[in-house]
Amino acid sequence: MDDTQTARAETMAQWLTQVFDGAAFSTAALAGDASFRRYHRLSVHTPTGEQRYIVMDAPPDKESVSQFVAVDELMTGAVHVPTLIAVNEAQGFIVLEDFGGTDFADVIHSEGGTADAPTAQRYREAMQVICQLQQIAVAQARAIVPDYDDALLRREMLLFSEWFLPYIGVAFDDTHFSPAQWQAVQDAIIAQVSAQPQVVVHRDFHSRNLMILPQDLGVIDFQDAVVGAYSYDIVSLLRDAYVDWSAAQTDAWLDEFFALVQPQLPHLTKSQFDLDTMMMGLQRHLKILGIFVRLYQRDGKARYLANLPRVLQDTLIETRWLASSQGGVFAKFDHWLNTAVVPAFRQTFSQSQPQTTLNNHKP
């Protein structure tokens, strides 16, 4: 722990002493996420027994505690987000309800990673949580969260070209796939997803951000919520970087979600839903490819590299589908990914990550 971290820990301890009226307590650091936030499990020792909480440490120059609080309040009542026990916005600390240590991914893996009845039911519960989020009034949400606008959608996709491609040693060129064609891919995705029905979007609704509770699912890591396309959160859940399902199983669950949302979107056809989820999935996965490399190169978080093959495979599923259904620049993009990006990716990982491989892409 460096001097800055030591000073921050001392400041946090002083504040916790005030919050809990001098009661004895202990903290244990928890694994971090893909942000600058740090988390601690807090045990407060009282005459009636031990009380457990989570402390979020969000340095004010890096993270906004006020946004976390505002989104927590927005989502409370719609889904189970942590109850806020104490907040120090000036110093960037929050004490919140402890959801325990078992997340959705842990349970799926412990159950053998098969889509049996208990697992299928868990996914249905998660889909229902998405539907509950989408019932929050957009007008109310827009007072708190930003729109997933064109600029943000593009900025996220540029992570692919700014971080992922240089990492594997690939660049655009006028012969194989040009910068103008890359721009056309972005433009087409942005136009399509911006025209989709707009709802409250968690924006990171995957298996590591859903906690298993006795009565329901707890939702965490929601502070980056936006108003955006209705298809975003279901793609996050079913084409998850941390859990691997076959395309057939993913499609079956997508069919179930379509049946759930169709009553609220009566003009939505299945063919339109398929296009919506493929376009939104491609945007998200291009972003994640860049983010995971950035987390490794800039932040020293090498563990995210192990998930790149799964994310790239989902990207290829989406570009193949779009190449077939939309043609044009998507056909060119899919061809370039398979002939230039995939070989370079395999070569890069054969040298630096021998334990991580990309399977042959199959329909």
- The CA R_g of the chain, rounded to the nearest whole Å, is 21
Q: What is the pLDDT along the chain (363 residues), one digit of tens a residue?
A: 566 778 899 999 999 999 999 999 999 998 766 567 899 999 999 888 899 999 999 998 888 899 999 999 999 999 999 999 999 999 999 999 999 999 999 988 887 666 777 889 999 999 999 999 999 999 999 999 999 999 999 999 999 999 999 999 999 999 999 999 999 999 999 999 999 999 999 999 999 999 999 999 999 999 999 999 999 999 999 999 999 899 999 999 999 999 999 999 999 999 999 999 999 999 999 999 999 999 999 999 999 999 999 999 999 999 999 999 999 999 999 999 999 999 999 999 876 553 444 544 332
> Domain check: are 183 and 325 in the same one?
yes
Domain stops at, among 27, 62, 97: 97
Q: Give the end of a domain, one of 45, 77, 97.
A: 97
For β-strands 84-88 and 217-219, DSSP reports them as unpaired
Tell me whether residue 298 is in a domain: yes
Say whether both 135 and 267 belong to one domain: yes
Q: Let me know if residue 63 belongs to a domain.
A: yes
Flag whether 3 is in a domain. no
Q: Is 134 found in the same domain as 75?
A: no
Residue 192 and residue 86 in one domain: no
Q: How many domains does the chain have?
A: 2
Q: Based on the domain organization, do 336 and 223 belong to the same domain?
A: yes
Tell me if 17 is assigned to some domain.
Answer: yes
How far apart, in whole angstroms, are the C-alpha atoms of residue 79 and residue 73?
11
Element (H, E) at 299: none
The pairs formed by 317-324 with CB atoms below 8 angstroms and a separation of 24 or more are 317/239, 317/247, 317/361, 318/278, 318/279, 318/281, 318/282, 318/285, 319/282, 320/361, 320/363, 321/274, 321/278, 322/278, 322/279, 322/282
Retrieve residue 219's tokens. Answer: 């939702």
Q: Indicate whether 209 and 63 sit together in one domain.
A: no
Do 153 and 239 lie in a common domain? yes
- What do you get for the CA distance between the two ends of the chain, in Å? 49
Same domain, yes or no, for 280 and 322? Answer: yes
Could you give the CA distance from residue 104 to residue 127 in angstroms, rounded to a whole number?
13
The verdict on 124 and 90 lying in the same domain is no
Query: Domain end: 35, 62, 97, which one?
Result: 97
196's tokens:
């989709």
Give me the pLDDT at residue 4, please: 74
| CATH number reported for the structural domain that contains residue 188 in this entry | 3.90.1200.10
The answer to whether position 190 is within a domain reads yes
Which range of residues forms the domain containing residue 62?
9-97
In a domain, 359, yes or no: no
Global pTM reads 0.91
Per DSSP, helices labelled H in 20-159 are 65-75, 104-110, 117-133, 138-141, 150-159
CB atoms within 10 A of CB 110: 9
- Residue 73's CATH number: 3.30.200.20
188 and 246 together in one domain:
yes
Side-chain-facing half-sphere of 308: CA atoms under 13 Å:
31
Establish if 356 belongs to a structural domain: no
Q: Give SS3 for 13.
A: helix
358 domain-assigned: no
203 shares its domain with 92:
no
238 and 135 in a common domain: yes
